[in-house]
Structure 1
Amino acid sequence: MARVTLDNVTKRYEDVVAVDEMNLDIEDGEFVCLVGPSGCGKSTTMETIAGLTKPTEGTVHIGDRDVTTLPPKDRGVSMVFQNIALFPHMDVYENISFGLRLRKYDKDEIDRRVEQASDVVQLEGMLDREPNELSGGQQQRVAIARAIVREPDVFLMDEPLANLDAKLRVHMRTELQRLHKQLDTTIIYVTHDQAEAMTMSDRIAVINAGELQQIDPPLTCYNEPANLFVAGFIGSPSMNFVEGDLTASGLETEHFDLAFDPGDIEPVDDGVTMGVRPEDIYLERNAGSVESGSELIEARTDVLEPMGDEIFVYLTLDGASSEMMTSDEASAASNQLLMSVDPDTDIAEDESVSVVLDRSKIHLFEAASGEAITHGIADLSARHLAGGDAGAAAEAESGGQHE
């Protein structure tokens, strides 16, 4: 195992900045996913760690060594790529052992490592098969075993499941989690698939335009996004966003208002963006379990999308049509809200409905900078009171009664 540290790593290609002052500190044995849209710089970041790309500025440390100028073979890393790249004329044993044979390991050591790696990835009895006799998942396991036999300090995986079908990807995600627990080694995993990032990693590093936006555990990125980009990227379908203005009495938007005490939130001159996820919007008749529901918001259902375990309901706030918007476009439109309801909910298209928002799950962001202001507005007043006098806050909450 080894700790991986990137200190102000920047990579430029002439006038294009692929990675911009990247600072990452990945602990021994940690599983970290680098996630972001295509072209955001996540693969370039990994290639810099691997030594396939030399940074323009900054340093890379693996363990206690500065490896910034070392070639890939001397860094103690193994890579698994999206393109599996097995040798078609070699059997599984030969493919797995290829790197060891190049390094002139003795036969007994090669056999020991290949047997151990094949046991880990469940390839027993397949070592004499050719790659064309294997399924896609089995071929990917061979590629992973080929990385394991080197016994590296760090595994680097660049979208290794992207070419597999959906069912096999889910299965291989489980296999990789099991592999991580068994090997107890550091894994850095690049993906654009947030489901992979959310389910497998100890922490997610969200990257956009070459800049690190947030690095936190998956649920922290989901529940407490650092900015608008993270809020919109993490979660499928995307978070709903509505522009508005913060006032002394709450939030005012074009189509509805939310009353609350902003407490000690600083005034925002350029306005704010409210964010709420589809699962945190409730029909009035189903809002009994919401402890802190908002005021009623009148809307009309537009399009319903049954998904099996839930129904996505597109709501319009002023009677306008969504005009065949995608779910992400609808959640970002000023007069649109996307709501998720149970599959047995009695609801139809073009129906007038009243909905409430879960105030504890409402996010506020600065409209100009996109930076998060607060996550949850249900307890702002209580926090404001507690900030002035914690004892008074507790007494007020209990009605002033003492036993």
Structure 2
Amino acid sequence: MTRTRITVVAAITASLLLGACSVNATDDSATAAGAGGTPIANVVTPDPGGLSRYVSPVALPASTDTRGPDGEKPVWYTQLNLTSAEVQRVKAGNYRAAIVWQEASPFMNALGKGVEQTYKALGIKIVSTTAANFDQTTLANNVRSVLALKPDVIITIAIDPVADVATFKPAVDQGVKLVFASVKPQNYKAGKEYVSLVTYDLSGLGNATADAVGNGLGGKGKIGQIYYDANFYVTNQREKAFEQTLKSKYPGIEVVDRVPMADPAKVEDVAAAMIARHPDIKAIFAPWDTAAEGVVAALRNAGRTDVGVYTIDLGNTNALEMAKGGMIKEMTSTLAVEFGNSLAVAGAYGLLGKKAPPMVIVPAFPVTKDNLAKGWESTFGVSLPTDIAAAGGAGR
């Protein structure tokens, strides 16, 4: 694989694993919150240290098959807490933090909201927030720039796991506490070069989506599956879990066409060819939110509004389609703002010299028309945008 190909794959996968949400924020409060609407209070609760944390809308399984890039076994975000005494120690430290993202997007805004709220509560000053627009050189420059501001902790993400070994070395050498969101540099070790890796329940995303397909089709029927054609642990785990759950729990559902997608820009063509080959399919799995938009376009162009679309990640365009009773039947989501809260708390572990779990995850949960409002609130901490709510998306 060429260097260019590696960078493109890293950019695409970093985007999708962090939630390829096509949310349209239309005002300042929406932008700050990450996704439209007014703040919702009943989705948060105090943790043992008094910090606001998000309540999972589903029961957390006793175990998960999700593993990190080096085989790390994760713990649930609820196990990542500070005591009241530790909160006071952090507040007394006059610490400084920087946020170094790979892109600026509604989903990253939601993560940033979580980091900012938690660090405000901990008395940690955020000295800089940057976005690299998926350019690895820009990311490296941003890391060097924020280091001049002398942060004690950096919340960040790697774009190219190989190249970013060098990108973050200056921070490691300066003793800055690094916390990575989902993607870390290759061969970096928790407790050594960085504090912790925070992401979401990858297997849970696949399991929930498979259950949605099984329930939506009544346990039988023919479906198509579009999968992301890349050797990347995030998408690999999601799709493996989806396939295994379908096979083990819903033997009456047959995947009659499983098609790779290397270029997300061509997903509409992939879907169009699939439904032409198999006009009897009842549903299509799309690997993430914006890919599902292409599938919906292909179905609409073919006049096939009878085919359901199931995907991962919650976004505005598909939420509106769902609210209208359209082709999007289910989107599996996660706690986006809590993702940011957990990143921030992990950083505080590093500042205190407290050993953090190598990998921390937030849960996956299904969002359908029946619970769209609640799913949106749990994901972003705000109410549904008015256009979606008006279209019939008030299900709880």
Tell me if both proteins adopt one fold, taking TM over 0.5 as the criterion: no
Normalising to structure 1: TM-score of the pair?
Answer: 0.23
Comparing both chains, which one has the higher relative contact order based on Cα–Cα distances under 8 Å and sequence gaps of 6 or more? 2
Structure with the higher helix share, 1 or 2:
2
